[in-house]
Amino acid sequence: MQLGKFKLHIIRECSFRLDGGAMFGVVPKSLWDKVSPADERNRILLYCNLLLIETPAGRVLVETGMGPRWSEKEADRYELKSLVNYDNVLESVGLTNNDVDAVIISHLHFDHAGGATVLKDGKLVPTFPKAKYYAQKGELEFAFQANARARASYRPDDFLPLQEHGVLQLVDGDSEILPGVSVRLTGGHTSHHQVVTFESEGKKGVYFADIIPTKSHLTPPWVMGYDHYPLASCDIKSEYLAKAARENWLVVFDHEPGVPWGHVIQTAEGKFDWQPLTEESLVAV
């Protein structure tokens, strides 16, 4: 779709499943099961939706998804189904891995950084050879010192090779990556989680990453059990959603299995309603 001078595409990198209880934290199953039904292993369906932003100054890929480096046992645990060819992640939009100038990773958990590197001739190399990769400095520091609860979500093979190849750019707080495309520190999910905002010719949008993973997480207190700081997630959601509704931002959800982009409306009672774009908006033009 077009947003001002920017051309936007969703790339559905994979589908997978995670425990529904973990995805909805303290929300009772009797409530979340109605909107995100669990399978026989109590898991709910999720996608990794990457966002490609084509700007006059370059192409930005937001997130890299789960990537290809998973054992059979792990793939079964998550019912992981890859939806792209890693030699050419952008095939569906008629581009190649060489066409990406910047990759933004919201945080370094494996379902966001997993596709950042690929194994080539027995060596781990950046998936997008010509891109600089952007992550928060504090997130990388935390990934190396995460305690027992947090550690399982980080795999050094997803980000160490980026450092070794000199392509990892560490950002400290809010920063503009290319004209009109910025990262903003939110905390919440992890202490240095960031969202991506984009703006062209007065039209605005936000990629919420794991602050609002699916449309079922739109209600501010419906935050994930995975969040390190759930109360902060709740507050930052309320703040961003009010702004997004007021200024008619395009809103993108990273793990939504349905149409993952659309708009939010704030009702008279202060609640937020979701208005997705059409299925056709997902087809590359």
Q: What is the DSSP string of 156-192?
A: HHHHHHHHHTT-EEEE-SSEEEETTEEEEE--SSSTT
Binding flag, residue 256, Zn ion (CB under 5 A): no
Binding flag, residue 101, Zn ion (CB under 5 A): no
Binding span for Zn ion by CB under 5 A among 13-21, 97-105, 106-114, 129-137: 106-114
At its nearest, how many Å lie between Zn ion and the CB of residue 210? 5
At its nearest, how many Å lie between Zn ion and the CB of residue 258? 17
| Residue closer to Zn ion (CB basis): 101 or 210 | 210
> Which residues between 172 and 211 bind Zn ion (CB under 5 A)?
210
* Total residues at interface with Zn ion (CB under 5 A): 2
Q: What is the DSSP letter of 155?
A: -
| Residue closer to Zn ion (CB basis): 63 or 99 | 63
Of positions 63, 99, 101, 111, contacts Zn ion by CB under 5 A: 111
| Residue closer to Zn ion (CB basis): 111 or 227 | 111
Task: Identify whether the C-beta of residue 190 lies closer than 8 Å to the C-beta of residue 151.
Answer: no
Q: How many CA atoms lie within 13 A of 60 on its CB side?
A: 24
At its nearest, how many Å lie between Zn ion and the CB of residue 231? 19
| Residue closer to Zn ion (CB basis): 210 or 227 | 210
Q: Quick one: which of 42, 38, 111 has its CA closest to 70?
A: 111
Q: How many CA atoms lie within 13 A of 151 on its CB side?
A: 5
| Nearest residue to the partner Zn ion, using Cβ | 111
Helix or strand (DSSP H, E) at 21: helix 20-24
At its nearest, how many Å lie between Zn ion and the CB of residue 44? 13
Distance CA 258, CA 248 (A): 20
Task: Identify whether the C-beta of residue 189 lies closer than 8 Å to the C-beta of residue 224.
Answer: yes
Task: Identify whether the C-beta of residue 231 lies closer than 8 Å to the C-beta of residue 242.
Answer: no
Q: Which amino acid is at 12?
A: R
Collapsing DSSP to helix, strand or coil, 274 comes out as strand
Dihedral sign, Cα of residue 93, residue 247, residue 193, residue 32: negative
Count of C-beta atoms within a 10 Å radius of residue 26 = 10
At its nearest, how many Å lie between Zn ion and the CB of residue 147? 19
Query: Taking CB under 5 A as the rule, which mask of x and - marks residues 59-98 in contact with Zn ion?
Result: ----------------------------------------
At its nearest, how many Å lie between Zn ion and the CB of residue 123? 27
At its nearest, how many Å lie between Zn ion and the CB of residue 213? 6
Binding span for Zn ion by CB under 5 A among 18-26, 104-112, 141-149, 267-275: 104-112
Q: Quick one: which of 168, 157, 257, 250 has its CA closest to 216?
A: 257
Q: Which residue has the tokens 């001002």?
A: 4
| Residue closer to Zn ion (CB basis): 18 or 181 | 18
Binding span for Zn ion by CB under 5 A among 17-25, 49-57, 105-113, 238-246: 105-113
Residues that bind Zn ion (CB under 5 A): 111, 210
